Amino acid sequence: PTWIPRELTLESFTGIWVRKNFGVYFFNSTVISLATAVLSVFFGALAGYGFSRFQLPGKRVLIGFFLATQMLPGVLLVGPYFKVLTATGLYDTRTGLVIAFLTICLPFATWTMKGFIDGVPLEMDEAALVDGCDRLGVFFRIILPVLGPGMVASVLFAFLLAWGDLLWALCLTTSEEMMTVTLGIARTVGEFRIIWPMLMAGSLLGGLPAILLYLFLQRFLVTGLTAGALKE
């Protein structure tokens, strides 16, 4: 093999984008990853606010259960998810994949948001309630605006998890119209040969969005994780 090519060409990139329908896979991964990130952060912030501000019965047990779900390997959950999504008609759909990813990302988002909200003085809530705000008003007008770094940390975690997943996409989709970037890259590996140029081109294209997103938001990620870990 020659390490330095004799001439530069973009044939592998155009080939995988056109002949391998990589554009469809790219679109599916973008929609699924963004939906997972936005929904997990929104519902995680709501749940984190409830755990932080209300004395709920069995709160410690429920939080422990949330954390315990992170210890289960994904392959253990594939079978139950397959049955549920098939029974509900969500198998081989983007919605089904988003729901599967949400169950993985929500515990992390909830824990991160709770730790961040714990650092917000309770007096801010009380002052807003005295001024006439209800609980939802306090959440959207007082709490949510100061959760920026924590939300960025949760968004990055959810987006990168959904974008780089192979197991769930492989087991919960069958049609080419629903396949993701990771499946598109895997399809360049055949039974008897590997299309190395397209494999490398697909890996580069598939990794670029995640790399660029991380580089753009990394300072918020560090701030969010450290702020969420502090407790007054």
Domain that holds residue 195: 11-229
What phi and psi, each to the nearest 5 degrees, are found at residue 48?
A: -60, -35
Q: Within 13 Å of residue 228, how many CA atoms lie on the same side as its CB?
A: 25
Greatest Cα pair distance, the chain, in angstroms, is 74
Within its chain, how far is the Cα of 18 from the centroid?
A: 27
pLDDT for 232: 46
pLDDT for 219: 73
List pLDDT tens digits, range 12-26.
788 778 777 888 999
| Tally of domains within the chain | 1
pLDDT at 28 exceeding the cut of 90? yes
pLDDT bracket for residue 225 (50, 70, 90)? low
pLDDT for 223: 60
Structure-model confidence comparison of residues 48 and 4, the more confident one: 48
Query: Does residue 4 lie in a domain region?
Result: no
pLDDT at 95 exceeding the cut of 90? yes
Q: What is the C-alpha separation between 65 and 69, in angstroms, rounded?
A: 6
pLDDT for 215: 85
pTM, two decimals, is 0.84
* CATH (domain of 111): 1.10.3720.10
Both tokens of 77, joined, read 């959950």
User: Is residue 194 helix, strand or coil?
Assistant: strand
Weakest-pLDDT range from 42-46, 84-88, 122-126, 192-196: 192-196
Angle at 99 between CA 138 and CA 25, to 5 degrees: 120
User: Considering only CA atoms, which of 162, 74, 141, 69 is closest in space to residue 110?
Assistant: 69
Query: Does residue 1 lie in a domain region?
Result: no
List pLDDT tens digits, range 133-173.
888 999 998 888 888 878 888 888 899 899 999 999 999 99
Query: Does residue 22 lie in a domain region?
Result: yes
